[in-house]
Structure 1
Amino acid sequence: MSYSIEGKTAIVTGAANGVGLAIARHFANKGANVMFADMDENRLAKECGQETNGGNMCYFAGDLRERLTLANLLSATLDAFDRVDILVNGARQMMPSDPLDLEDDTVETLLGQNLMPALRLSQIVANRMIKQTNGDNERQAGAIINLSSIASRRTQQKLMAYSISCAALDQMTRSLAVSLAPNRIRVNGVGFGSVMSASLKDKLKANPDYRREIEEHTPLGRIAGPGALAEAVQFLASEGSGFMTGQILTVDGGRTLLDPVAAPAH
């Protein structure tokens, strides 16, 4: 079974830094055509601007919470590469929340940031994937991969809003998997924990002891680089996972095998 994504076209959101950037670059290195999408145009231009002329990398900057922006992202991808085969919803935001604060609207904010853009973009891209099959009922029409977190299954008081948004994203993955299966579009997710994302890197700078806490509560005893996650996402995007849909693949160094509620759930 092949894990190749060569010649496929992928949209990767959250691609200006951290995990999203690592996935987008990994896909490009594996021969895929990649649209890097994010809100931070300066970072996008810095990371891939010099390699976009006639190559397999392009970038699109905009607020993915806006419906028109999502439609324009798809249009830009089709203009550059003619089709779209893979969607990686990698744009995420983590914010602390206070469950007892009646004025705290972080749950609403993170649902609007982490869930709704992924849902709407999945709908737009899925319709395009269906259209471009041209009646071919044999081959996979497309693959959608949603980046989530082990926080969806763990309880931490200060991460209530983030945990809710991730749990909602996991359920969206399962629901879309069932809905899109007749159209031969697979939808899976990756729930990750101890991977060096941009937000985790910021936390480690602010609190050096946080690394020790994570490593002590991770059976593999380390924080993985973003490349480990990129390999998992490639697997879910490829024909090698052709009989998988609606699954949340855990990439956390074994963190969720341990019990302590107080352990970091990043």
Structure 2
Amino acid sequence: MSSAHSFVVTGASGGVGSAIAEHLSSIGHVINLDPTPARSANPRVHHVEGDAGDPAAAAAAAQLAEKHGPLSGWVNNAAIFRDASLATATAEQISALIALNLNLAVVGCHTAVQHFLSHSRPGSIVNVSSHQAQRPVRGALPYATAKAAVEGLTRAAAVDHGPQGIRVNAVALGSITTARYEEYRREHPEADQQMAALHPLGHVGHPLDVAHAVAFLLSAESAFITGAVLPVDGGRAALGPDPESA
């Protein structure tokens, strides 16, 4: 990809999204669609204040990206972390939480596909998923369900729009050292040892690990990859508990 290209990354005011945006800025202009103020002073990272689940805000991000260069990649990174239990919440509350997270990816995919088609241009979409789509942890039912649906969306969109040269893939993350993770570490002194045991590589990932994987899936180097879910999890999803390990 040349520096003339542009990208949209949702939820890029912090955490993994920020790392993705900063990394992609080395090869093009990046639009961060996020309701919170942008933290980047990078002149190639631009901010659109808005909800990634709002079609009007997503369209505005696409339009701004196009002003800086042909929009060639869209990353659906924004997520909502709110849990609810089948035992204590209503079905309506749980369904609403699932819809909130899933809608972020649906709106992003819809906006990107519409933009690529209207410009008769191939493009690439990367959805950020989680190891929980396949192996949930207790207490995260709405999030895990939404991410499983995002992976289904990834495959279906890839099948539907492959003939137009639009590729759709996902990255399924393990634990990553974001501010949210660091807060968890402060509250749980045993976290480092537990997380090392959960990831076969012996440690959690860094935001730049995710950024590199996303950039690969957006690039011509992955031109024959679509409908794939790439684990970026240090082997966490592959690990099964060993009853003899104790």
Gaps (5+ residues) in structure 2?
none
Give the secondary structure class of the aligned counterpart of 1:36: strand
CA offset digits 1:214-254 (Å, max 9, x no partner) = 11121110112100110000110001110010000001111
Q: Counterparts of 1:1-266 in structure 2 under 5 Å?
A: 4=1, 6-28=3-25, 30-41=26-37, 44=38, 47-48=39-40, 50-52=41-43, 56-78=44-66, 80-103=67-90, 107-133=94-120, 141-260=122-241
Is this contact kept in 2: 1:14–1:92, CA < 8 A? Answer: yes
**In structure 2, distance between residues paired with 1:204 and 1:216:** 15
CA offset digits 1:91-113 (Å, max 9, x no partner) = 01222321212436553343333
The structure-2 alpha-carbon separation of the partners of 1:35 and 1:224, relative to structure 1 and needing over 3 Å to count, comes to: same
Aligned residue pairs, count: 242
Relative to the length of structure 1, the TM-score reads 0.84
What is aligned with 1:264? none
What is aligned with 1:137? none
**In structure 1, distance between residues paired with 2:215 and 2:209:** 10
Give the secondary structure class of the aligned counterpart of 1:95: coil
Is this contact kept in 1: 2:4–2:68, CA < 8 A? Answer: no
Q: Aligned-residue CA RMSD in angstroms?
A: 2.0
Give the secondary structure class of the aligned counterpart of 1:222: coil
Give the secondary structure class of the aligned counterpart of 1:157: coil
The structure-2 alpha-carbon separation of the partners of 1:196 and 1:110, relative to structure 1 and needing over 3 Å to count, comes to: farther
Is this contact kept in 2: 1:97–1:104, CA < 8 A? Answer: no
- Give the residue type in structure 1 aligned to 2:225: M
How far residue 19 of structure 1 moved from its aligned partner, in angstroms, is 0.1
- Give the residue type in structure 2 aligned to 1:217: L
How far residue 6 of structure 1 moved from its aligned partner, in angstroms, is 3.5
CA offset digits 1:33-69 (Å, max 9, x no partner) = 111121102xx0xx22x443xxx22111112222222
Is this contact kept in 2: 1:98–1:157, CA < 8 A? Answer: no
Structure 1, 144-153 or 188-197: larger mean CA deviation: 188-197
**In structure 2, distance between residues paired with 1:104 and 1:209:** 34
Give the secondary structure class of the aligned counterpart of 1:161: helix
- Give the residue type in structure 1 aligned to 2:29: N
How far residue 5 of structure 1 moved from its aligned partner, in angstroms, is 5.6
Identity %: 28
Gaps (5+ residues) in structure 1?
135-140, 262-266
Runs of 4+ residues deviating >4 angstroms: none
CA offset digits 1:104-140 (Å, max 9, x no partner) = 6553343333211211221122121122237xxxxxx
The structure-2 alpha-carbon separation of the partners of 1:39 and 1:109, relative to structure 1 and needing over 3 Å to count, comes to: farther
Is this contact kept in 1: 2:7–2:73, CA < 8 A? Answer: yes
**In structure 1, distance between residues paired with 2:194 and 2:161:** 40
**In structure 2, distance between residues paired with 1:5 and 1:105:** 46
